[in-house]
């Protein structure tokens, strides 16, 4: 009998725990990118793992997304920070090459990717009408110098921005595209067919001049009715954890459950909200009287007016009422068929604020943050972290505001980099609200015998409250001093103890960080501040055991912990 041997079975590779963790991270990263764009209304064009050669240069497209005539090429990477500069350089060189060979790029996409071909057949755009956009999405931070170098070539879709847009798109779905367009530096006129219609929106309302409104001199207040469609397209909100920077953001993220409940109200009750939306109007807003004449800023009479505003993305700043506006969003739920009609036919009452010409941006931000706090803190107390963010805007020289700025510095550089909770999606990291309120504010305040301000050597530092540059320098000084101290502390610990996992260690907890800060306070009082080598040598005397079973300090005992650290390492 003839025996036929079968093929030798290939053994599957066994992945290590770390490799499996990395693969899960990569899969989630790709899923987050795709989900964000698809939720915003883009179509996904599969291109991954396909070699791309355009006019002699070869590369690849990780992801391609299309909306009307907008084609977005997204490069994703989970490489560590050290590998980013070279990878980014090569990609940007390729993008520059593509811009010089757009016809060849279109031809390649059309012939190679069937989904792109079918997309073009279903959308009546000529190749020259397409707008190609390049985005670089890294799981790790990209250094500022590289963003500045390549910022004209591609958009940097930081991981924090990705998580923001992912959360936003899961809450308001396709209506999130307007903010995404603004992030990609697109204007309304760039989307779809070229518009020949009027670029202004006109509404009829009532002018309430500043002498009557009680608002500062030169501020004009108008009330008018606006359809939700317009507001969804043209409004913006300065939300914390957004993409507009981290200094002057003061509003909460949209609450998904609240939006859901409000959509049920809209669909079932069929009534518009009676509360007014409070918003700032763009500086190009023009007010005209019944004869068509422009109204002067000095006008003091209450009168009917026509309000002309430019049709642009993200120009109407919502101060109060974001949930009411965004409950009308273009959703994927069963209620949207009804709500679609309301988006077009219902009208929301808007109280619009028009700033005086050339009004400084910083004053605008302070005014809006203060107004937001006045309105919302009386309805539902604003959470501590949001209050601290607002404090940084309206009173940047207060101890809380300086502390908040220092925390931002500690989170971005030094031994605590990546360990402090600075974004809403940060899980398992050290919360900072209590550190700012209880520990840090005492050692960074602009007065006091136990503040770093006392040890800061700078000419004319007494004038800091009228000098923002000096304030920034002082914040940097505080960050440097605290980082040196905590770096010294880190050298006294083993790698396994330097962990935010409280099942493993209590070295990186709010209690310990506040205790370390209290120790710095005592060093200031006793004039014992030093450099890294000094702290490294001092912490060799540290005897406190930070293992969970040995660590005895409760959350309220951070001062006792600070005293103990001081006596063991710096006491004489």
Q: What is the DSSP letter of 147?
A: H
DSSP letter at 296 equals P
Cβ-based neighbour number of residue 217 at 10 Å: 9
How far is residue 519's CA from residue 450's CA, in Å, rounded to a whole number? 11
At 263 the pLDDT is: 94
C-alpha 132/C-alpha 69 separation (Å) is 9
Cα–Cα nearest to 230, from 371, 350, 336, 319: 350
Give the start-to-end residue ranges of the domains of the chain.
Answer: 17-190, 200-379, 395-569
User: What DSSP letter does each residue of 90-116 carry, written as one string?
Assistant: HHHHHHHHHHT-HHHHHHHHHHH-HHH
Query: What region does 245 belong to: left with phi over 0, alpha with psi -120 to 50, or beta?
Result: left
pLDDT at 556: 87
**Backbone region of residue 358 per phi and psi (left: phi > 0; alpha: psi in -120 to 50; beta: other values):** left
- Predicted confidence at residue 363, as pLDDT, reads 86
Q: Alpha-carbon distance 517 to 523, whole Å?
A: 10
Give CA 218 to chain center in angstroms. 32
Burial of 361 (C-beta count, 10 Å sphere; 0-12/13-18/19+): exposed
Phi, psi of 278 (to 5 degrees): -105, 125
Residue given tokens 């989900």 in the structure block: 35
Each residue's pLDDT expressed in tens, for the chain with a length of 572 residues: 344 455 556 667 777 877 888 888 899 999 999 999 999 999 999 999 899 999 999 999 999 999 999 999 999 999 887 889 999 999 999 999 999 999 999 999 999 999 999 999 999 899 999 999 999 999 988 888 999 999 999 999 999 999 999 999 999 999 999 999 999 999 988 998 765 556 888 999 999 876 666 777 788 899 999 999 999 999 999 888 888 876 667 788 899 999 999 999 999 888 888 888 999 999 999 998 888 888 876 666 778 899 999 999 989 999 999 999 999 999 999 999 999 999 988 899 999 999 988 888 888 888 888 888 888 766 666 677 777 888 877 788 899 999 999 999 999 889 998 899 887 787 788 999 889 988 899 999 998 888 999 999 988 888 898 888 999 999 999 999 999 999 999 999 999 999 999 899 999 999 999 999 999 999 999 999 999 999 999 999 999 999 999 999 988 899 999 999 999 999 86
Which of 235, 173, 183 shows the shortest CA–CA distance to 70?
Answer: 183
Instruction: State the DSSP H helix or E strand holding residue 64, giving kind and residue range, or none if neither.
Output: strand 63-67
**DSSP tag of 448:** S
Looking at residue 448, its pLDDT comes to 81
Going by their DSSP bridges, the two strands 286-288 and 316-320 should be labelled as unpaired
Token pair of 304 as six digits: 């009917």
Distance of CA 489 to the CA centre of its chain: 31
Within 10 Å of residue 187's Cβ, how many Cβ atoms?
A: 12
Q: Kindly give, in sequence order, each residue whose CB lies less than 8 Å from that of residue 145, ignoring residues fewer than 6 positions away.
A: none
| 17-190 belongs to CATH 1.10.10 | no
Q: How many CA atoms lie within 13 A of 319 on its CB side?
A: 24
First-to-final CA distance of the chain: 92
Dihedral in degrees, nearest 10, Cα atoms 29, 22, 411, 391: 30
């Amino acid at each position: 009998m003839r025996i036929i041997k079968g093929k030798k079975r290939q053994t599957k590779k066994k992945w290590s725990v770390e490799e499996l963790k990395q693969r899960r991270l990569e899969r989630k990263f790709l899923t987050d990118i795709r989900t964000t764009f698809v939720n915003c209304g883009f179509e996904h064009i599969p291109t991954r793992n396909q070699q791309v050669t355009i006019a002699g240069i070869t590369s690849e497209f990780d992801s391609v997304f299309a909306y009307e005539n907008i084609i977005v090429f997204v490069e994703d990477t989970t490489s560590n920070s050290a590998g980013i500069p070279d990878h980014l350089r090569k990609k940007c060189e390729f993008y520059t090459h593509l811009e010089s060979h757009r016809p060849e790029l279109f031809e390649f996409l059309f012939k190679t990717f069937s989904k792109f071909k079918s997309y073009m057949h279903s959308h009546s755009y000529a190749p020259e009408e397409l707008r190609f956009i390049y985005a670089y999405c890294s799981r790790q931070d990209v250094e500022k110098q590289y963003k500045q170098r390549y910022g004209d070539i591609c958009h940097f879709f930081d991981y924090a921005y990705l998580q923001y847009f992912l959360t936003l798109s899961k809450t308001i779905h396709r209506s999130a595209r307007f903010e995404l367009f603004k992030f990609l530096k697109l204007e309304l006129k760039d989307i779809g067919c070229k518009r020949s219609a009027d670029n202004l929106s006109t509404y009829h309302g009532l002018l309430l001049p500043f002498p009557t409104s009680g608002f500062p001199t030169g501020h004009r207040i108008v009330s008018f009715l606006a359809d939700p469609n317009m507001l969804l397209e043209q409004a913006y909100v300065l939300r914390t954890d957004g993409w507009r920077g981290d200094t002057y953001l003061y509003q909460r993220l949209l609450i998904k459950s609240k939006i859901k409940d409000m959509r049920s109200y809209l669909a079932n009750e069929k009534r518009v909200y009676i509360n007014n939306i409070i918003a700032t109007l763009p500086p190009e807003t023009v007010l005209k009287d019944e004869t068509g004449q422009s109204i002067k800023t000095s006008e003091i009479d209450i009168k009917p007016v026509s309000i002309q505003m430019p049709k642009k993305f993200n120009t109407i700043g919502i101060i109060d009422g974001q949930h009411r506006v965004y409950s009308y969003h273009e959703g994927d739920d069963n209620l949207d068929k009804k709500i679609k009609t309301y988006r077009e036919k219902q009208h929301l009452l808007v109280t619009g604020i028009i700033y005086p010409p050339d009004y400084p941006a910083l004053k605008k931000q302070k005014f809006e943050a203060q107004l937001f706090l006045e309105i919302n803190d009386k309805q539902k107390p604003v959470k501590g972290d949001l209050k601290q963010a607002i404090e940084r805007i309206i009173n940047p020289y207060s101890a809380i505001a300086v502390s908040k700025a220092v925390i931002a510095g500690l989170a971005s550089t030094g031994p605590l980099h990546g360990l402090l909770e600075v974004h809403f999606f940060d899980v398992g990291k050290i919360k900072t609200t209590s550190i700012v309120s209880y520990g840090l504010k005492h050692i960074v305040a602009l007065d006091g015998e136990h503040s770093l301000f006392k040890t800061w050597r700078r000419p004319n530092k007494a004038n800091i409250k009228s000098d923002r540059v000096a304030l920034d320098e002082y914040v940097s000084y505080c960050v440097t001093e605290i980082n040196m101290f905590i770096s010294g502390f880190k050298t006294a610990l083993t790698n396994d103890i330097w962990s935010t996992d409280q099942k493993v260690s209590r070295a990186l907890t709010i209690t310990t960080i506040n205790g370390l800060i209290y120790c710095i306070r005592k060093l200031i009082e006793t004039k014992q501040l030093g450099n890294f080598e000094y702290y490294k040598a001092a912490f060799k005397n540290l005897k406190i055991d930070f293992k969970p079973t040995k660590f005895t300090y409760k959350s309220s005992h951070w001062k006792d912990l600070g005293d103990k650290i001081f006596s063991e390492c710096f006491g004489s």
